[in-house]
Amino acid sequence: MMAIIPPEVSIQGGNERNSDAFRDQERRESLNYQQRIYTWMLMGKTQKRILVDIQRIQDTNLLLEEAGYFEGKMASPNEIAEVLGVDAILTAHFKLKRKMTDSEAKTFDFLIGGGPAQRYGGTPYSSNTKVTLELYDQELSKVLWQYDAKLPRGMRSAASRVVDDLMETATKKSPYYGYPKK
């Protein structure tokens, strides 16, 4: 069984970096990405393209919370897998780079009359999202698979769009991906 750990989300840029609201936003983004990765993996599981069982994220997060993971009490992938009772963990690191602060972005939206994503195919909020996925195998005590990507979407793109773009190619290269039997 595999567990999907809440991704590490790092938002670079902007002058709100040290605020509690900024850290809360990173935490919310982490849970949004985790949920979407889980949904994507379950969809692949029902289509018989993902060849491993996936722990429910509610169970994963509850066990992590009880073990003090969110307070920084656990660091090693082996410890995490052991606490969760799984054979493997999928970790992700999302690095979003902001081009402007929230107040600058709101002013920009106001001046052009709405979100620029619909008009220009991009946003002024983020130039890109860099992502690293790692699949850690507890029995082997090592990273079994790693995937790095740079996506042109960022802060104002829905987590579902970012994750769909990522998982479309990443899962096909993972060791737990297969083709449905006919």
Degrees to nearest 5, angle at CA 47 with 41 and 52: 50
Q: In the chain, what are the domain boundaries?
A: 2-173
* Global model pTM greater than 0.85: no
Q: Are 139 and 81 in contact (CB under 8 A)?
A: no
Tens-place pLDDT, residues 22-71: 778 888 889 999 999 999 899 989 988 888 999 999 999 999 999 999 88
Task: Please give the distance of CA 143 from its chain centroid, rounded to a whole number.
Answer: 17
Structure-token pair, residue 18: 């040290």
Tens-place pLDDT, residues 142-180: 999 999 988 765 444 556 677 777 777 777 676 666 655
- Name residue 179's amino acid: Y
* CA separation for the pair 93, 129 (Å, rounded): 10
- Which pLDDT band holds residue 132 (cuts at 50, 70, 90)? very high
Residue 124 has pLDDT above 50, yes or no: no
Q: What is the pLDDT of residue 153?
A: 55
Residue 117 has pLDDT above 70, yes or no: no
* CA separation for the pair 75, 78 (Å, rounded): 9
CATH topology of domain 2-173: Rossmann fold (3.40.50)
Cα–Cα nearest to 70, from 30, 18, 17, 32: 30
In angstroms, the Cα distances linking 68 to 62, 71, 78, 83, 175 are: 10, 5, 15, 11, 30
Cα–Cα nearest to 154, from 100, 82, 95: 95
* CA separation for the pair 4, 150 (Å, rounded): 20
